[in-house]
Structure 1
Amino acid sequence: MLSLVASAAACALVLSACQAGTDSGSSSKDGGKYDIALSLSYTGNDWQDNATNLVKAAAKTAPYDKKVNLRVDIAGSEVGKQIQTLNNEISAGVDAIIVYPISPTALNATIKKACDAGIIVYAYDSLVTEPCAYNVHIDQYEWGVVNATWLAEELGGKGDIAVIDGVPGTTVALDRQKGLDDVLKKYPDMKVAGKAPGAWAQAQGKTAFTSIEAANPNLDGIFAQAGCYAITKYLNDGDKKVLPCAGEYSNGHHVQMLSPEVCKEVDIDPKECLHLPSISSGSPAYSGELAFINTVRLLDGEKVGRNTILPLPSFTTDDLDALGAKGVGDDPAKGALVFTPSKASPGMFGSFWSPLVEQGLLANLKGVSDKISDAKPCAEVEGCKTTDKLTFDDNHSGGN
């Protein structure tokens, strides 16, 4: 599994419904700068906060600070409001829109309208199927298969599991669920005791789990699109049995995966380190930053593949055991997978850097410029690939 370790470390070691406004400068032409809108759907969880911070930080970093006016618009989780926000951005005459879409198809007509007006549209993490748009993402079906396979093997192919969903309707949530479903077909003695939405947030993930646990007190494991940290803390604080958790890439979860012995070496309270049997696979928070970098490349006249598939960051407790204290630090470009709690919140997503991008820990947390590397093109980064268009099959709700 170490070959699947977050691409970042692997390379190093081997706003209300229309909170429109300008993040820097104005939305009108200013000294020849490009006007770029970061167009969000829902917000309110750590992943979205980290991804947004990375885009803001990139826009404040040379050479982009002299080339880009960035505005950040928040539409919320309703399709109609996101369409309205996109239309507002089109009317404002922006040069490009970087979008986290709430649906793979519902925005297509509006995206086509933007393209016809000469506006670049770049979706990140969750996909859109309009052919004129650009997409950057991991294979979310692979995320589901990898995590579900680990959990099935950890449980010996049998047991009752709680499933914590993401944001319903997004390609991310749908494809991860399809991966889980396909794996469970191979393990008839594994049962889904209950499923509830967690919105990719720690607090909501814990609430979803407790609702399942109330009706199913003898659970054996957890498949969580996010929430492993908060769920495990709830179980441990309540003197309940902690459960193997296949989940998303939060730092608190990673600290729980460490052994007390390693934590003593790196000045982390050993009580926080449970040696939790787990796998952590991430949807890179840096995908928004990469969409920003590629958008500027396109505006500068460079060629960029229309569809970028990122390598899946993933590691297990066994992988952390093998790394020991070397896996803990503050610079992912130097191999850090786990960040000390004094520097990073438990909910922070650790998948914020790869050789494809530039920004470091402070950018992820605070949205300030924190350049730690030069961005490499996809062709120079192991596991990254580009295609001319999305491909469609039964495993991917919005293509891949």
Structure 2
Amino acid sequence: MKNGFPMMAAMVAVALATPPAHAATSDKKIALSNNYAGNSWRQAMLRSWDKVTKQAVSEGHVAAADSFTTADKEVPSQAAQLQNLILQGYNAIVIDAASPTALNGAVKAACDAGITVVSFDGTVDEPCAYRVGIDYVGMGRAQVDYLAKRLPNGGNLLEIRGLAGASIDDLIHQGIEAGVKQHPNFKIVSSVTGNWDEATAQKAVATVLSSLPEIVGVVDQGGDGYGAAQAFKSAGRAEPIIIMGNRQDELAWWKQQKTASNYSTISASIAPGGVTLAFWVAQQILDGKKVPHDIVFPTLSVTDANLDAALAAAPVGGVYNTEYSQADAVKAISASVAK
């Protein structure tokens, strides 16, 4: 018995030094299916996923959390990717989807195979899937509400849309249309596609500017504000109130204009790090928690009041961002249940 005490003490020491494994999910594997990584927002999303999930694996919450990005933005490529993830035996898939509807067959196949599917950012409407995102319609409507406060006489607006076919593009557009309907003194005189990318947005805006009347505001979806500003500058036209989308170059330009001429606007977007909230929601579902199929969390916003702090937090060439913890997911789930 005497010889057993050192061994017992050693076992206790090891137990105290080892983080507690979460038995229900410590052997589970979660994958991220991403259809596009061609802008700074998506790249920030992938970095957030990598940062948070590596820690989750090291702490024993899950066995693996891998990310996969298709080589293009096409639905067939992502559908094939989903089929591969099913065959590889993942227990849950977090997906940023190329289409809200076109991937439903692949998503249903995953659900039928017993895999939990949590869509984030680009959500899907297949009933078996969960959806984690912000109020995109409200985000679009809020842009016009803000312009109405700043410009009570209204005027002409230019709309820059996102990635064609994505659920986010359609939802934000719906919100902007609802805002214009509520404030009929505004009129959208042109709509271009910016793909949530500054260079694409700049080219698209430059193409139509010469044919447009005076523009008092630019409503958009994120990743296009700086490009729009450069297009107006190149055309020799005064920059209107351009809604921003939390990219560092947008915030830096806004700060420069604010210093030079007291320029004022707002900026808002879903945080790229919201993908970590989707990860923890998937983990909670695998852990047996009851989770509603729709979970909404707040938009990450910037105003004149917190512009300096947001700009300081945004890496050059990157995006103002935040990441989420397991506790944040539990709170978001509880709030969604309450609603």
Is the structural similarity TM-score above 0.5? yes
- Show the counterpart of 2:315: 344
- Deviations 1:188-220, CA, capped at 9 Å, x for gaps: 332222111111111112122112213226322
Alignment of 1:299 onto 2:295: no
Alignment of 1:252 onto 2:255: no
- Deviations 1:247-295, CA, capped at 9 Å, x for gaps: 322223223333789xxxxxxxx6xx66432121212212211111222
RMSD: 2.8
The one-letter code sitting in structure 2 at the alignment partner of 1:247 is M
Conserved 8 A contact 2:246-2:320: yes
Map 1:381-400 onto structure 2 (within 5 A). 385-387=335-337
Conserved 8 A contact 1:123-1:134: yes
Secondary structure class of the residue paired with 1:175: helix
TM-score, scaled to structure 2? 0.81
Task: Select between 152-161 and 102-111 the one with higher mean Cα deviation.
Answer: 152-161
Residues 380 and 308 (structure 1 numbering): CA distance in 2 closer, same or farther, change over 3 Å?
closer
Conserved 8 A contact 1:193-1:212: no
Residues 298 and 186 (structure 1 numbering): CA distance in 2 closer, same or farther, change over 3 Å?
closer
CA distance in structure 1 between the aligned counterparts of 2:322 and 2:115, rounded to whole angstroms? 27
Residues 138 and 62 (structure 1 numbering): CA distance in 2 closer, same or farther, change over 3 Å?
closer
Alignment of 1:283 onto 2:270: yes
Deviation at 1:387, TM superposition (A): 4.4
Relative contact order, CA 8 A, sep 6+: which one is greater? Answer: 1
Map 1:191-210 onto structure 2 (within 5 A). 191-210=187-206
TM-score, scaled to structure 1? 0.70
Residues 186 and 291 (structure 1 numbering): CA distance in 2 closer, same or farther, change over 3 Å?
closer
Residues 83 and 309 (structure 1 numbering): CA distance in 2 closer, same or farther, change over 3 Å?
same
CA distance in structure 2 between the aligned counterparts of 1:107 and 1:388, rounded to whole angstroms? 30
Secondary structure class of the residue paired with 1:242: coil
The one-letter code sitting in structure 2 at the alignment partner of 1:202 is E
Deviation at 1:157, TM superposition (A): 3.6
Conserved 8 A contact 2:155-2:187: yes
Match of 1:44 among 29, 34, 38: 38
Secondary structure class of the residue paired with 1:48: helix
CA distance in structure 1 between the aligned counterparts of 2:315 and 2:234, rounded to whole angstroms? 21
Match of 1:80 among 76, 90, 98: 76
Secondary structure class of the residue paired with 1:337: helix
Greater helix share, 1 or 2? 2
CA distance in structure 1 between the aligned counterparts of 2:42 and 2:285, rounded to whole angstroms? 24
CA distance in structure 2 between the aligned counterparts of 1:194 and 1:96, rounded to whole angstroms? 42
Aligned residues: 311
The one-letter code sitting in structure 2 at the alignment partner of 1:216 is L
Map 1:1-400 onto structure 2 (within 5 A). 33-64=27-58, 66=60, 67-75=62-70, 76-216=72-212, 218-226=214-222, 227-236=224-233, 240-258=237-255, 275-317=262-304, 320=305, 328=308, 336-339=309-312, 344-346=315-317, 348-353=318-323, 357-358=324-325, 375-379=327-331, 385-387=335-337
CA distance in structure 2 between the aligned counterparts of 1:104 and 1:233, rounded to whole angstroms? 32
Conserved 8 A contact 2:99-2:166: yes
Conserved 8 A contact 1:306-1:388: no
The one-letter code sitting in structure 1 at the alignment partner of 2:253 is Q
CA distance in structure 2 between the aligned counterparts of 1:230 and 1:388, rounded to whole angstroms? 41
Deviation at 1:152, TM superposition (A): 3.1
